[in-house]
Structure 1
């Protein structure tokens, strides 16, 4: 049975596509194998549109209404698509501190941003209220929650937000990596995946469809704190350093520090570590095939400890 929340997401998506506020998903893809793991490399036309939207004269990454450029210059740096969301993309509240917004440049159907109602810096550490929002959606719908903690981790907006994509064989997830580790680990157990040539931590959590929301949020917060401590991620005036990605779903959390955003022009964000690498043009697929997906990921992360 489709939940009331998901019904709202579908209705809002259909209306936004019909009005032109959201473009239909157009993608081509290949599947690459590396160390026994499958990676989808997908060309999504919307990502090129996202790049174009950030250029002078554009309307920006999240709103189709207000002007967002300064005369003769680039987009107004104060523009915030999450503080006053485009009504055509607004799904509704998720708890007391977040709102769900359709991602204007989605990588898949029903791709959501869960944005804080009040401004906070994206590079600041995730807090209990962020995991509460993720737990609310994950417990009802499953899928994958993720966080790009700063520009070097793939974030394009400063306003604090996490994101969610629904479960699908064609979407990023932690299922493939989770299958390579013991499934009898107790919640809170931390481990590493033998195939990942980069600094990271997996933590067993209660995060998925049917989990108790409060217990799930508490489990995720503890896991994130554990992983950050193990990876020596530090908080200072600039936020969490180094920048990091977090993925959570299917009873696993993955946290990894980042060194840079791009591999040969390809923006690598959290979803890439969930097995789906998104590119702006078809030519970038060849660069990933030549290097190998795991080495692509290693090139933007930190060395394995």
Structure 2
């Protein structure tokens, strides 16, 4: 990859401390419980009963205000030349949650470019963790301005995904496409091009042929070791919006009551309900 000033954990933590001190960063306090569903591990989080609800409330989805057009300076970690910048997620439910946004407006439904995946690779290649993308509103995207996302730790299903796909293939009853990534891919200046070619191949596998124009809705997950793409047919399971993190094994609900409902139904069944049947 081309040399770009590192966005490492120390830099993320320093920016986080400053953003908390200025009240630009507004974490959502949550409780959580680990759940197994048909042999697959999940963590389900819900808003803590101790949380400051007005402070935790998120802005209206996709309204006229574009928070990525002129980002709050306190949330900005820096630019990734030539076309992206990295921000703290203003309303995180987990620490060190970053957004990789295009400097100029591009639609969230548009296909990912070499530049998009090169920018995400700076974070994944440099720090590990999980990169992910919600391809359109149906896939759980909360803003129409193109943004990829990154977290430093793998949620429980992502942490064991290759093994689960191999040993529990019968559980994944929805359409998906998976590719392993060799370590050498992260040591080349062409990482973005390699990842974009892999992504294009997975799109073609998942949808049966290369999509013309913008791809249908999907979620994309990326680690140093693999890329996984899951087509989507619905955003919601009941009243719960599911994005790419759901397929990584991390789900978020509004209350303990909704947690109980999701646990009873089984998280894997919620994923099946919003994915495209195989």
Q: Normalising to structure 1: TM-score of the pair?
A: 0.80
1:35-114 matches, within 5 Å, as 35-44=38-47, 52-55=57-60, 77-114=63-100
Cα 1:261–1:267, aligned 2, differ >3 Å: closer, same or farther?
same
1:30 alignment partner, SS class: strand
What is residue 225 of structure 2 aligned with on the other side?
251
Contact 1:132 1:214 in 2 (8 A): no
Q: Residues of 1 paired with 2:170 and 2:246: CA distance?
A: 17
2:164 alignment partner, SS class: coil
Question: What 5-or-longer segments of structure 2 have no aligned partner?
Answer: 1-5
Number of aligned pairs? Answer: 269
1:217 aligns with 2:230: no
1:204 to 174, 180, 195: 180
What is residue 23 of structure 1 aligned with on the other side?
26
Q: CA-atom RMSD, angstroms? A: 2.7
What is residue 234 of structure 1 aligned with on the other side?
211
Residue 219 of structure 1: how far off its partner (Å): 2.8
Deviations 1:229-267 (A, max 9, x none): 11226233xx222x1100000411110111111111111
What is residue 302 of structure 1 aligned with on the other side?
276
Residue 213 of structure 1: how far off its partner (Å): 5.4
Deviations 1:54-86 (A, max 9, x none): 35xxxxx7xxxxxxxxxxxxx8x4321111101
1:177 aligns with 2:177: no
Q: Residues of 1 paired with 2:222 and 2:55: CA distance?
A: 25
Q: Residues of 1 paired with 2:40 and 2:114: CA distance?
A: 33
Contact 1:144 1:173 in 2 (8 A): no
1:269 to 243, 262, 265: 243
1:292 aligns with 2:266: yes
Greater relative contact order (Cα < 8 A, sep 6+): 2
Q: Residues of 1 paired with 2:145 and 2:138: CA distance?
A: 15
Contact 1:47 1:279 in 2 (8 A): no
Q: Residues of 2 paired with 1:4 and 1:54: CA distance?
A: 27
Residue 37 of structure 1: how far off its partner (Å): 1.3
Q: Residues of 2 paired with 1:121 and 1:26: CA distance?
A: 30
Q: Residues of 2 paired with 1:95 and 1:7: CA distance?
A: 21
Q: Residues of 1 paired with 2:222 and 2:150: CA distance?
A: 10
Contact 1:9 1:91 in 2 (8 A): yes
1:136 alignment partner, SS class: helix
What is residue 138 of structure 2 aligned with on the other side?
152
1:106 alignment partner, SS class: coil
Question: What 5-or-longer segments of structure 1 have no aligned partner?
Answer: 56-60, 62-74, 183-191
Residue 47 of structure 1: how far off its partner (Å): 12
Q: Normalising to structure 2: TM-score of the pair?
A: 0.87
Deviations 1:7-40 (A, max 9, x none): 2211110111122111245211111112221111
